[in-house]
Copies of this chain bind each other. A is one copy, B any other.
Amino acid sequence: MNSGMETTIAGVTLKNPVTTASGTFGSGREYGELIDLNRLGAITVKGVSEEAWKGNPVPRVAETQDGLLNSIGLQNAGAKHFIENDIPFLRQYDTKIIVNICGHTLAQYCSVAEKFADCDIDLLELNISCPNVEEGGLSFGTDPHIVERVVGAVRHYAKQPLIVKLSPEVSDITEIAKAAVSGGADAISLINTLRGMKIDIHKRKPVLANKIGGYSGPGIMPVALRMVYEVCHSVDVPVIGMGGISTYEDALEFIMAGAKAVAVGTANFHNPYATVEIIDGIWRYMKENKISSLEEIRGCID
């Protein structure tokens, strides 16, 4: 237990500021064979929808220089399966549970939030980067009015504190963050992936079956950090930062930009110990720099 690392998000206290980025860590089972899940501040699980989603055609992951493209398409077994299988598994550990939820319509979002209302989980994370089938397929997360509306509706059904996870594909992220807060968000997390593409010039076709996928990893970190900084300076709710974090130094940049917690995603794939190494690294940095609480450096960039 490393004192001084605790962080509180909407009333929920994490023992340290490190969680996992949704979709990169399953529900923790597989990485639990390699690392001690009790070490994590929280586990954020893969997106869960009302009913099972099949996902996109393969190939659906591809490496880019210093990044990853994915078009998993939010494959998941649905809320019922998750509630029966994954919550009991996760509750064995001394870590907080953040359930990431997704939907293609407002009704689906509300329904999945409702299904979790009486479940033993700590926080809900609303992924608003999903394609909005009712409004022509553009993401829910790019129009402030729609953001406010969907957050407001889900807020109504949700019983846990609600984190709203923002899409970076907007001109002004602060406008979206403010809309989420006025819709009722208790916290904000960002960034989700940027859409990207890669072409295999020998086969003369895109590397992903879906052509376009979500771009994550170190290559997006400068954009993520800038947006986290901007959002921390424009809303009063806690912010969870993510996007390309691979080392404790990266994590500290987000904390100095103002983040209350950070999530580690793609880095798990090239270093399964990434999360615990980041926790240890932050702790070492605090010792070396005689920092007794992360509050001393959080948001030190004005």
Contact = CB atoms under 8 A, between A and B. Distances in A.
Interface residues of A, number: 44
Number of copies: 2
A194 interface: yes
A66 B246 CA distance: 14
A194 B212 CA distance: 19
A256 interface: yes
Interface in A252-272: 252-253, 256-257
A171 interface: yes
A218 interface: yes
Contacts of A211: 229, 301
Interface in A46-86: 64-67, 69
A197 B222 contact: yes
A172 interface: yes
A88 interface: no
A222 B196 contact: yes
Contacts of A139: 171
A226 B67 contact: no
Nearest to A167: B171
Interface in A272-297: 285, 297
A225 B201 contact: no
Interface of A: 64-67, 69, 138-139, 142-143, 169-172, 194-199, 201, 204-206, 211-212, 215, 218-223, 225-226, 229, 249, 252-253, 256-257, 285, 297, 300-301
What are the 10 A-B residue pairs with the smallest beta carbon separation, nearest first? A196-B222, A219-B219, A142-B171, A197-B226, A66-B66, A199-B253, A215-B222, A201-B252, A197-B225, A65-B218
